[in-house]
Amino acid sequence: MAREEEYKNKKEQLGFLYSKKGLLEQILSFSKDHIYVFDKDRRIVYVSISGILTLGLSFEELIGKKWNDLNLKKDVKEPFDQRLNAVFLTGKPLTGETVFYPDDLEKYYEYVLSPVKDEKGNVELVIAISRDITDRKRVEQILQENDLYNSSLLRLYRSLGQATTYTQIIEALRPEIKKMLGYESVYLQLVQEKENQLLLLDAGGPVEEAAKKMMKMDPRFQTIIGKEKFLIIPMADDPYLQEASHAKHVHVIADAQTHPLTNKEVVKVTKNRTIVAVPLILAEKKLGLFVMGTFGNEGVKVPNNRQIDYLETLANHVAVALDRVRFLAECKR
């Protein structure tokens, strides 16, 4: 008897709300949720004002239409439509997430599809309630990125801690830089302030090819061959190298082909495009730079702010490794 009485009361309450449709509309208009109601033919029979605004369509364009008939992207329509059909068939609620691009902005939404059944238990309607979760998604993405960058830094901390040569430093950096920033080319430059020159570690790839071309172009570019091979790069007549070698933070040249500081004769030979130079400083002493970037057809690839923060943190680990390698080299001498 108690359950029958409770059911009767709820039915009366629902009847009152439906009789006061205007009041219901006002309540829903203040809700952050976007509400859509579908009948057995999968046609929209009700949509809240916020739902209309979210889709960017008019009331007339929505009412009586199927979800798949709407002018939306395929990857938005199909997953929702599949879940909608599943709820009608099984009578069980489902949840999902989707993304819209209103005004070219990326917006994330989560939704719940709930069945409304008749007295025989058949699904008469399905109510879809969605909510903007863009801010939450942004936070999740930042946390995921932080996990990726922190994991990379931890791996490098271990591998750089074992490096006893300059080449081993580059070998530790190369796979992580490629994974985290997408650069194929990574190389090391040691600063020799008294001689006003840099020593570029010959690490193969485009950098080695560029070094060979520079030596043919200018006799001041020479190689030093020992256990590891270096190319002498004079800085006196190169405004870019002067600026990069004195930088205290990550130094980015978006496109060396057009940047006013770069030596265009050198760039024409080396085919540099984006250059990212990371200063290696320990106890206020400039030890060198580790440099990455793109060449030729690789085009322009500028790091974002999160990647620059990663490089700034990584610089501390590399500087410690570089100082240790230099100390070991001096001990051997």
pLDDT digit string, tens, across residues 31-62? 568 889 999 999 998 888 888 887 878 888 88
Residues 124 and 224 both lie in one domain: no
Residue ranges making up the domain that contains 208: 138-332
The SS3 assignment for 307 reads helix
At 28, is the pLDDT very low, low, confident or very high (cuts 50, 70, 90)?
low
Residues 166 and 267 both lie in one domain: yes
Among 132, 159, 193, the domain-final residue is 132
Tokens for 174, please give them: 């190369």
pLDDT digit string, tens, across residues 78-99? 889 999 999 999 999 999 998 8
Residues 6+ apart with CB under 8 A from 118: 124
Segment 162-188 mean pLDDT:
92
The residue that leads in pLDDT, 151 or 203, is: 151
Within-domain flag for 11 = no
Total domains, the chain: 2
Average pLDDT value for the chain: 82
CATH code at position 180 = 3.30.450.40
Residue position matching structure tokens 């007295």? 119
E-strand ranges in 245-303 read: 251-253, 272-282, 285-295
Within-domain flag for 191 = yes
Among 109, 132, 155, the domain-final residue is 132
Residues 175 and 194 both lie in one domain: yes
| Antiparallel, parallel or unpaired: β 251-253 and 94-100 | unpaired
